[in-house]
Amino acid sequence: MSQLLRFDELSLSQEVQQAVTDMGFETASPIQSEAIPFILEGRDVIGQAQTGTGKTAAFGIPMIESTVPFEKYVQGLILCPTRELAVQVTEEIKKLSKYKKGVFVTTVYGGDSIERQIKSLKSGANIVVGTPGRVIDLIERRALKLENVKMAVLDEADEMLDMGFREDIESILQETNENRQTIFFSATMSKPIMALTTRYQNNPKLVKVVKNEITNANIEQLYFDVKGRAKMEVMTRLIDFYGLKLMLVFCNQKKKVDEVVEELQLRGYAAEGLHGDLRQQQRNNVMSKFRSGVVTILVATDVAARGLDVDNVDAVFNYDIPLDEEYYVHRIGRTGRAGKSGKAFTLVVGAERNRLREIMNYTKVKIDKGVIPTFSDVVGVKKGMFIERIQNAIEGGDLELFGDVLENLHHAGFSTEQIVSALVKMNMGITKNEFADENLDGEIERQQRRNEGGGRFDRNSRDSGRRGEGRFDRNNRDSGRRGEGRFENRRSDERGPRTDKAGKPYRKDPNMVRMFVNIGFNEKISPANIVGAFAGESGIPGNALGQIDIFDKYSFVDVPKEYATTVLDKMEGASIKGKRVNVEVAKPAN
């Protein structure tokens, strides 16, 4: 990594230097220190950087410097995967070009009036920031002409390819001047990205933020091993215990976002959701409320949150552990910004600990296990806050107007202690629930099950486990294909009492739902086929699945309760190895 540069060491105009100073920056970030000099030289650049590393300024400053002011044609084009990111980039570019007279920036994206956008372009936009779909629409209407573009930037290029914009991107680039300067910024350097760079860039310079520089040292990262049914309880305890004011909560699916928002609202928290099903006006309203603090908890999917740039986020919650290690980096990068401290809390259920280890290997950061606050801990914190507010109110004076309230309540037969306790209860808004006296640590629960002999695979001894009687093993592969062994006295297409591979009664895990799948060995199905189908169709982590038992014509799969509805919805009409399957909740044992 090269030495970080001060902005006054870069060859920038006085106007841009002044804008950077106004924004409070003195030293360029790692990606800015490396990329800006090359882009200013006119080189094509591939920048590998995550959200929160300052990449917008890395390409925005050189684009502003290369723009000829007061010319009424498009000189710079920035493509973004989402409307939110396009708006964020535009705001940043406008701040950086604050003192550059005659440089005009406009944003174009779907969901907004195309007539207004056409009018803005006709007025003489020099830099256009937009989403690929809307840019294509404007080109086809001949409202956006790109033949004079000197610099084209693809921001979050990997995300645009994942969203299916490759053809649009290529069509747009073909509309630009072939002598343009082309800049790609991407979190990953996948084969599709490299194919685009080979076709559309000229001897590009690769600059990147290495993995061990990605995660912010100002972020306290903790994980909590929780019982699946207690996720919401644990998260709200953490919110109250740490006194968090502004939070982002990430879920893997849109449906889960809606469920989490509804439950938070029922518990009295100011929460709203952000996902792809919202109309643009709804998204704008949600973001406006979140930025102003009217909404204190924003629950979002990874795609919907792309490009979010909100100051003063106290904490990020991974309500669902991300399916990709890089998503973890994207998520936690939204707290602990500009030298401020932040918190990143990850809720882990059962086998998701394997995914957590993969994340730690990727980020090169050890994530410590946090202690779940007890109900008494939360009550204690809230009591302290209440006492502080009472003290402030007393010191503020002007209490005479309310002096007779206590006397009236005394006349009604209530003691001072009862009155104060009732006021505290009303103000704190906290009541006991089914979790109040329960230990919510998932590891403790698993240890108790092991001590009771109810381990995941119901092994009689450690030695039997060593012999391979594990999750996917069969007692005899050949007999399994013939439908013998476990069900040897029963027709292979008959569902009988639930037993494990050793023929013992199946022990139900209370956190799992047993699913029946109408396909088995006769179709040459393996556990890997089932895991791949369930994970691929429903989006759940494959390692979250529990015990899998395969017979001649059907199989059983244990699915975590929190994913059961999703699996049933997504697997409807799905196929495994080309055969259409039916998935349903297994009938209870007789």
Write down the pLDDT at residue 201: 93
pLDDT at 489: 32
Q: Which helix (H) or strand (E) holds 461?
A: none
* CA contacts within 13 A on the Cβ side of 312: 8
Tell me whether domains 7-209 and 219-372 share a fold: yes
Alpha helices in 97-131 (DSSP H): 114-122
Whether 51 and 273 have beta carbons less than 8 Å apart is answered as: no
Residue 333 burial (C-beta neighbours within 10 Å; 0-12, 13-18, 19+)? buried
Residue 100, pLDDT score: 93
Residue of 336, 346, 272, 260 lying closest to 305 (CA atoms): 272
d(CA 494, CA 489): 11
| Res 474: pLDDT | 35
Summarize pLDDT for 128-185 with one digit per residue, the tens: 999 999 999 999 999 999 999 999 999 988 888 877 788 899 999 999 988 999 999 9
Domains of the chain by residue range: 7-209, 219-372, 376-428, 468-585
Residue 338: its pLDDT value, please? 63
Question: Distance between CA 250 and CA 242 in Å, rounded?
Answer: 19
- Is-contact 129 63, C-beta < 8 A? no
What does each C-alpha distance from 41 to 35, 44, 47, 65, 86 come to in angstroms? 10, 9, 15, 11, 26
- Amino acid letter at 29? S
Beta strands in 69-131 (DSSP E): 76-79, 105-108, 127-130
Instruction: Quote the pLDDT of residue 449.
Output: 54
Does the domain formed by 7-209 have CATH 3.10.20.30? no
pLDDT of residue 470: 37
Residue with tokens 């069969």: 474
CB atoms within 10 A of CB 310: 16
> Rounded CA gap, 54 and 31, in Å?
7
pLDDT of residue 503: 52
CATH homologous superfamily of 219-372 equals P-loop containing nucleotide triphosphate hydrolases (3.40.50.300)
pTM for this structure? 0.50
Strand ranges in 167-237 using DSSP code E only, listed in sequence order: 181-186, 205-208, 219-225
Cα–Cα distances in Å, from 472 out to 32, 37, 382, 386, 546?
Answer: 50, 55, 48, 54, 10
432: left (phi over 0), alpha (psi -120 to 50) or beta: beta
Contacts of 347 (CB under 8 A, 6+ apart): 223, 224, 226, 231, 234, 235, 317, 318, 319, 320, 321
Per-residue HEC secondary structure of 154-175 comes to: ECCHHHHHHCCCHHHHHHHHHC
Give the residues of the chain that fall short of pLDDT 50: 1, 211-212, 454-497, 500-502, 504
Cβ neighbors of 80 (< 8 A, separation 6 or more) are: 86, 89, 129, 130, 131, 155, 156, 160, 307
Q: How far apart are CA 61 and CA 12, in angstroms?
A: 8
- Check if the beta carbon of residue 45 is closer than 8 Å to that of residue 207: yes
Residue 564 makes CB contacts below 8 A (sequence gap 6+) with 513, 515, 585
Alpha carbon distance 16, 20 (integer Å): 6
| Fold of the domain spanning 468-585 | Alpha-Beta Plaits (3.30.70)
